Amino acid sequence: MKLFSPEFYAWMRQGSLRSAREIVPLICQLIKPDRGVDIACGTGEWLKVFREHGAQTVLGVEADWIDPDTLCIEKDEFLVRDIAEPLDIDDEFDLVLMLEAIQHVPAHRAREMVQTLTRLAPYVLLSAPVPYQGGSGDDVHEQWPEFWAALFEEREFVCIDALRRQIWTNERVDWWYAQNLLLFVKKEELMRNKALRLALAANLGPPPPLVHPKLYTARSVVAEPQR
């Protein structure tokens, strides 16, 4: 299943790298992943930045239309998989990322994908498009964040909504991350990490359904005044 053209990835590359360099330091204040995997990684900008912040092992997962010569990671750190199909990754990591991609997983496989993410790592960084966000023309399963939080709760993961407020007005961060970025944490990890406990205490309850002003403006149609 082809999601995006090479031109789309070229356009996204700069914004992804810029956004990651703003957001990754905030994540590293909470956790310090040594091993990271990015599902639907594009050309690997987020993994590149995590490596700059100390990650020793990274793995990018993406479909086969990515040109390996455009990767920001090594070619042997890249795994070809179609996220519309079940993922057979036999490894464990500290952190798994899935950023603006889970909407391409068919609705009937949403729970299975969450199970896969939570099997791969005790920390999951998820940016999931909200209803009517759109963007690629074939988004099939956009949901409000509470939907995903409920599926992660089934897996004993809690949602820490500590990032969106910090990046909401940061012009260097693409608005879709500011709107959608959530960290899901395996409950037993909270006992080991005071910073996570404090972040959770400051953001109790389901993650609110937010719409960023830039999306609202893009989707709004100003009606002409009646004459």
SS3 of residue 159 by DSSP: strand
pLDDT digits (tens, 9 = 90+) for 52-96: 999 999 999 998 888 889 999 999 999 999 988 889 999 999 999
Q: Based on C-alpha coordinates, what's the Rg of the chain?
A: 17
Residue 16 has pLDDT above 70, yes or no: yes
Nearest to 74 by CA among 62, 58, 97, 61: 58
Residue 227 has pLDDT above 50, yes or no: no
User: What pLDDT does 219 receive?
Assistant: 81
User: What pLDDT does 130 receive?
Assistant: 96
Residue 21 has pLDDT above 70, yes or no: yes
User: What pLDDT does 222 receive?
Assistant: 41
User: What pLDDT does 98 receive?
Assistant: 98
User: What pLDDT does 12 receive?
Assistant: 75
User: What pLDDT does 55 receive?
Assistant: 98
Give the count of beta carbons closer than 10 Å to the beta carbon of residue 193: 16
pLDDT digits (tens, 9 = 90+) for 179-226: 999 999 999 999 999 999 999 999 888 999 999 999 999 887 543 445
Count of H helices and E strands in the chain?
8, 7
Token pair for 29: 């204040």
pLDDT digits (tens, 9 = 90+) for 104-143: 999 999 999 999 999 999 999 999 999 989 865 555 799 9
Residue 2 has pLDDT above 60, yes or no: no
Going by pLDDT thresholds of 50, 70 and 90, the confidence category of residue 36 is very high
Specify the higher pLDDT residue, 2 or 90.
Answer: 90
Is the Cβ–Cβ distance between 159 and 180 less than 8 Å? no
Token pair for 187: 């409950």
Strands 57-62 and 181-186: unpaired
User: What pLDDT does 78 receive?
Assistant: 97
Going by pLDDT thresholds of 50, 70 and 90, the confidence category of residue 9 is low
User: What pLDDT does 180 receive?
Assistant: 98
User: What pLDDT does 220 receive?
Assistant: 79
Distances (CA, A) of 72 to 42, 56, 215: 9, 15, 28
